[in-house]
Amino acid sequence: MMALLSVNNLSVTLRSGGRDVTALNQVSFDLHAGETLALVGESGCGKSMTALAIMGLLNSRSPRISQGQILFEGRDLMQLSNRQYQQVRGKDIAMIFQDAISALNPVKTIGDQLMEVLRLHLGLNRRDAFPRAVALLERVKIPDAARRMGDYPHQLSGGMSQRVMIAMAIACQPRVLIADEPTTALDVTIQAQILQLLRDIQRESGMALLLITHDLGVVAAMAQRVAVMYAGRIVEQADVLALFEQPGHPYTRGLLRSTPKSGQPGERLYAIPGRVPPLAALPSGCAFRNRCPLACEACSERVPPLNALAPDHRAACLITAPENYTEEYHEHAS
C-alpha cells in the first residue's frame, strides 16, 4: 500500500559560525492513512525541524532543505511553488505547534483565528464560517463554544488553548496531522484528555498522525510505529511493541531505562551518560559512540546504516544482537 506521506533522505542545512551545519541527515520514513507514527528523541535531535520541513516552513537560506523528497499522495511537495504549498499547508497537512498559548495570536479572538482558517482554505464568508467554527470548538469539547469565540488567548487555560489549536488544525479535515509535543506543560489529567481527543478525532476521520514527543508513555498509548532520532538522524524504526520489548539501538535502550517506573521508594532514575554533541562538532562514525557503553573502535570509523533486525525493525548500530548487547549493557550500567 502506497504511503500517504513519504519522507525520503531528507537533509536540512543551517548556518552556524559562518559555515553550513547539517541539522537533519538523510531522514526517511513513511506514514500511512489512519496510523500513528511517533518521532521520539531528546531535545535538539531534529524532531521539530523535521515537522517544519514537511510543513514547508523553513527559510530558503537557513535552515534550508539541501536534499531529499517529501511526497504527499505521491506528489513531490518540494517541487511546489510557495503559493501551491500554502494550499496544501493547513488543508491537507496540518500541524499542532508546541506551546499553544504562544502559537496563538494574542491580539485576535480565538473565533477570528479559527474563522480565518476556514475562510482561507474553504473560501467561506464570515457568516458561514461562524457556525462551522463554533462546531469545531464543540468537537474539541470546549464548553459554551459560541461565547468562547470572543475570548482572547490569554483568557484560556493551557488545556483550552491546546484544544483551540487542535480545532484550527482539523478545521479543513486534513489527511495528515503533525502534533509537536501536544501535551507539553499540561498537567497529567489534561494530558490524558488531549491524547484521548486526538484518538477520537483520528478514529472518526481516518487521518494519519505524526506524533512528535520525548515521552515514551505517550508513545506506548498512541503509536503503532516509532522512529527514534539522535543528532539529526533516525537511528531506529520499529513497531511500537517490538521497540519496547527488544530495542535494537543502545540509545533506544537508554531512553527506555530513563523512563520513570513504579518501583522501590527512593530508587534512582537512570540517566544516559554525557550530552548530545553539538551538530557542528559531531564525532566521527556513530554520533552516539561517546555516550554508548558498548562503543568499540569500529564505531568511530563509519556511520552505521539502518540494518534490518526483523521485517519491520531496523537499527543503525554495529552491535545489534540482543543476546550480546544485554549482558554487556547491564555490566556497564551497574
Instruction: Give the number of other Cβ atoms within 10 Å of residue 26's Cβ.
Output: 17
**Residue 241, all three cell numbers:** 511493541
The DSSP letter of residue 212 is E
Q: Decide if pLDDT at 266 tops 70.
A: no
What are the tens digits of pLDDT across the range 44-97? 899 999 999 999 999 777 899 999 999 999 999 999 999 999 999 999 999 998
Please, which residues have CB within 8 angstroms of residue 23's CB and are 6 or more apart in sequence? 12, 13, 14, 46, 49, 63, 232, 279
Instruction: Give the number of other Cβ atoms within 10 Å of residue 262's Cβ.
Output: 5
- The answer to whether 67 and 26 have CB atoms below 8 angstroms apart is yes
pLDDT value, residue 70: 97
**Alpha-carbon gap, residue 177 to 169, rounded angstroms:** 7
Cell 503533525 sits at which residue?
A: 178
**Alpha-carbon gap, residue 44 to 58, rounded angstroms:** 16
| Biggest alpha carbon–alpha carbon distance for the chain | 68
pLDDT value, residue 101: 83
CA geometry: angle at 207 spanning 226 and 310, to 5°?
25
- Domain residue spans in the chain? 5-223, 230-260+274-333
> Is 5-223 in CATH node 3.40.50.300?
yes
What are the tens digits of pLDDT across the range 114-137? 999 999 999 999 999 999 999 999
pLDDT value, residue 44: 87
Question: How would residue 218 be classed by pLDDT, with cut points 50, 70 and 90?
Answer: very high
For the segment 27-39, the average pLDDT, to the nearest whole number, is 97
pLDDT value, residue 332: 45
What are the tens digits of pLDDT across the range 277-317? 998 899 999 999 999 988 989 899 999 999 899 999 999 99
What sign does the dihedral 276-279-283-287 (CA atoms) show?
Answer: positive
- Of the candidates 181, 196, 199, the one whose C-alpha atom is nearest the C-alpha of residue 34 is 199
**Alpha-carbon gap, residue 139 to 126, rounded angstroms:** 20
pLDDT value, residue 260: 78
**Alpha-carbon gap, residue 250 to 252, rounded angstroms:** 5
The model carries a pTM of: 0.91
> Chain-wide mean pLDDT for the chain?
90
Higher pLDDT, 324 or 314: 314
pLDDT value, residue 2: 86
